[in-house]
Amino acid sequence: MIWIDRKWSSPLLALALAVIVFAVPASAELGGTISTIQADQLKMGASRQVTSTSGYQLHEMQSPQGIRVREYASPNGIVFGVTWNGPWMPDLRQLLGPYFNQYMVAAQGKKAARGPVSIQLPGLIVERGGHARSFFGRAYVPQMIPQGVTADAIQ
């Protein structure tokens, strides 16, 4: 049994919680691999259906809360696009992964605007919109889209 002095219990508890939170395995993300899609499915508690098409695999997940996430993986197993829709916004930090900070910087100038938001950067496209109980969006990296596949496939 471990004994902790009460005066240290709050800082130690906070440290322990921080370690647990930051030790969570990586989730599926733009630029991630198929193995990260499986981690995302578990994190969402979602069912998953995989469809193979010419040029990519579509991994469609449906959470019990009604959020649908589609992740598009190239033949080499890299996620080049994601879409979402549902009653709540999904965790964009999770879905955009290393592109999240780039997205946030670009989106800051668009926060005052009402309606859909479209971010078009050389290495990242993000389109999102909706209202309470009905959110939607898509994000992709144009340079990662497999040959023979167009951005219109990401829907």
Q: What amino acid is encoded at 138 in this protein?
A: R
As to burial, measured by CB atoms within 10 angstroms (0-12 exposed, 13-18 middle, 19+ buried), residue 83 is: buried
Structure confidence at residue 112 (pLDDT):
55
The string of pLDDT tens digits covering residues 99-131 is 999 999 998 877 655 678 899 999 999 999 998
Residue-range definition of the domain harbouring residue 108: 26-146
Query: What's the domain count of the chain?
Result: 1
The string of pLDDT tens digits covering residues 40-79 is 777 777 788 899 998 999 998 888 888 899 999 999 999 9
User: What span, in angstroms and rounded, lies between the C-alpha atoms of 146 and 155?
Assistant: 15
Report if residue 10 sits inside a domain: no
Structure confidence at residue 58 (pLDDT):
94
Structure confidence at residue 22 (pLDDT):
32
CATH number of the domain where residue 45 is located: 3.40.33.10
Within 13 Å of residue 97, how many CA atoms lie on the same side as its CB?
22
Q: Is residue 15 pLDDT above 60, yes or no?
A: no
